[in-house]
Amino acid sequence: MTNSSAAMPAVTSFRSSSPLANEVLARDLEACPDVDDDTNANDIDDAEGSETSDDTPGPTLYRRPSGIAFGTTRPALSLGPAGLNEQTVLSHAERARSREAERSLLRDNHILPPKHYLSKQPRGPISILYKRLFSTKVPRREADEEDPVTETTALLAEDRGRPGAPDNANTHQHEHLNSQWEAAVAAGQIKTTWQREAKTIAVYSRSLIVTFVLQYSLQVTSIFAVGRLGTLELGAVSLASMTATITCNAPVQGLATSLDTLCAQAYGSGHKKLVGLQMQRMVYFLLLLIAPISAIWLNSEAILLSVGIQAPSAALASTYLKIMLFGVPANMIFEAGKRFVQAQGLFHATTYVLLVAAPTNIFLSWFFVWYLEWGFKGAPLAVILTQNMLPTLLFLYVWKIEGSEAWGGFRRAAFRNWGPMIRLALPGMVMVVAEWLAFEILTLACGRLGVATLAAQSIIMTVAATTFQLPFPMSIAGSTRVANLIGAKLVDAAKTSAKVTVAGGVLIGAFNVTLLWVFRYQIPILFTNDAEVIALVAEVLPIVAVMQLFDGMAAVSHGLLRGIGRQEFGGYANLAIYYLVAVPISFGFAFGLGWELKGLWFGVTIGLCLVAIVEYVFIWLSDWNLIVKEAEARNTSG
């Protein structure tokens, strides 16, 4: 490794064009000379029957979301390749969607003819109102009243999909599309509307919301299942989940984020079978962590007692963790497997798997805890059975449906070339663990305040994490869309999309505020029937409700920073504010002023407010034209 690459910032080293990623690919190709090179463009006439070929270079207005870590208390975006910095690595279906997005924008700006010519009949008032509210078309200026459709664009409209069109018609279409696009961008003719951006971000968000909620439900179900067994059991589940997150889930997800770069690099270079090799290598590496995780979990009771947790809570939490050990290998394999399918653009594969696993987990939790009357031990048993289902179902999906072309079989090369992979993985682990740790410290502190307080914290943390599953997917969608528009050199459109994303974050935050405030007395009853715990939760929920507004805004600001390629600022701002402001204030109010649980959450609310303010000021003051030039320079050099 050269000195220059060794000295690279952690964020930069994650980009798919980084020297570390290229070094891994070169070494793997040398070790596996039998890997097929799939870069032949002739295989682009794929099964979808797409009209799209990627032989002709052009803009990219569709990119898949970047690597995502989710499933526990606080989902997190990895520091993998940022949207506008990454090399475009798309499947054939995604290329088709990108071309269609370009055509759609050209139609909305009246540069291409509309898909369907509208009737000239006068419209009624309802039709006019509907068009003004929901039409994605940019309003015509008086100077543009004449139809700007040219001979070329008419030819495009007529030739598209016409039976008997010549074999090179698609290539000519793309050449014309690219030239028209470039001319329109240079002339400043490409605009967008808030309706189009709202629609696009909603489409990007919906599947992510479903996925996040389904995977997080695996944890929530345990809390629901044991909540009515007693206050002690409810608090112990929260304590065990916190320990599992910090010592296993966060490190595993953080390390696996390196596959967001390595698998994308292999897939994008055309050596698809190397995607499977990268996944194998990560699985073997993660499995080595079972030994230290087991040592911590098997001795968790003594460790929790040493930090001031009361003996009954520590004992039950330790029991939960010891049972959960049997699900750790499957969890590791699934994390690597998610990256395997994501690199191929198969984000829906994880959703389909969870659509089966999540309801199964709910049934097993009820069956073990209540029907078979196994009590507290039944909850982790249900979780480990579900966790072992996840990689199995994902394997069946890849084997029987799609994704198997990136699997090259088991290879001995997976036991070599670990150095660059680990160097890519460690910064991701540090950032993910650091982000989660700030919130999990609250749970650890509550263990010193008593069993009832710990149980109340379990409910509040679950509620706050559940509501966070709404703004976080939208922030990913906004990040992806802004990055796409900046990559296409559409500054005004990117700003419009950013404003829509911010408005969406505020609306979702306001919805969460209203929900928690209005139902603050009913929500805790869903988890427990203990009067003291219900009163504690109802007392703290108004503070948590206010936090929801800042939480949603901060989630969106994180996404926008990622979209404009300034995510390193967000990472450092988060860590500084969480640990230098939020946590000290929380402890000062909770223990210094005696506010206890209210004080802990008041400090976090102040911290999130500061995070949102600092990041939005930075975004507002950023030179977006310079950002576009930087993105163009990276694409050119790449």
- How confident is the model over 586-592, as a mean pLDDT? 91
Percent of the chain's residues with pLDDT above 90: 33
H-type helices in 12-55, by residue range? Answer: 19-31
3-state secondary structure of 610: helix
User: Which H or E run contains 485?
Assistant: helix 471-487
Q: What is the pLDDT of residues 506-561, one digit of tens each?
A: 999 999 999 999 999 999 999 998 999 999 999 999 999 999 999 999 989 988 88
Residue type, 563: G
Q: Read off the tokens for 123.
A: 């419209």
- How confident is the model over 140-148, as a mean pLDDT? 53
- How confident is the model over 263-287, as a mean pLDDT? 87
d(Cα 496, Cα 533) in Å, to the nearest integer?
45
d(Cα 341, Cα 396) in Å, to the nearest integer?
12
Q: What is the pLDDT of residues 353-412, one digit of tens each?
A: 999 999 999 999 999 999 999 999 999 999 999 999 999 999 999 999 999 988 988 988
Residue 116 CB neighbours (<10 A): 6
Residue 153: per-residue pLDDT: 43
Q: Read off the tokens for 521.
A: 């007395």
- For residue 411, CA distances in Å to 20, 267, 334, 636 come to 21, 17, 19, 35
d(Cα 107, Cα 177) in Å, to the nearest integer?
12
Nearest to 606 by CA among 582, 580, 571: 582
Beta bridge pairs of residue 77: 68
Give 3-state DSSP helix, strand, coil % of the chain, rounded to 5.
75, 0, 25
What is the DSSP-derived secondary structure letter of residue 140? Answer: P
| Biggest alpha carbon–alpha carbon distance for the chain | 81
In this prediction, residue 637 has a pLDDT band, given cuts at 50, 70 and 90, of low
Percent of the chain's residues with pLDDT above 70: 75
Lowest-pLDDT range of 146-150, 182-186, 253-257, 626-630: 146-150
The average confidence (pLDDT) of the chain is 79
Residue 592 CB neighbours (<10 A): 11
Lowest-pLDDT range of 128-132, 271-275, 505-509, 596-600: 128-132
User: Which H or E run contains 355?
Assistant: helix 347-366
Max mean pLDDT among 129-133, 134-138, 332-336 falls in 332-336
In this prediction, residue 633 has a pLDDT band, given cuts at 50, 70 and 90, of confident
Residue 81: per-residue pLDDT: 45
Pairing of β 76-77 and β 68-69: antiparallel
Contact 66, 562 (CB under 8 A): yes
- How confident is the model over 294-321, as a mean pLDDT? 93
Contact 249, 70 (CB under 8 A): no
Burial class (CB in 10 A: 0-12, 13-18, 19+), 39: exposed
Residue 271: per-residue pLDDT: 81
| 302 Cβ contact partners less than 8 Å away, ≥ 6 residues apart | none
pTM of the prediction? Answer: 0.80
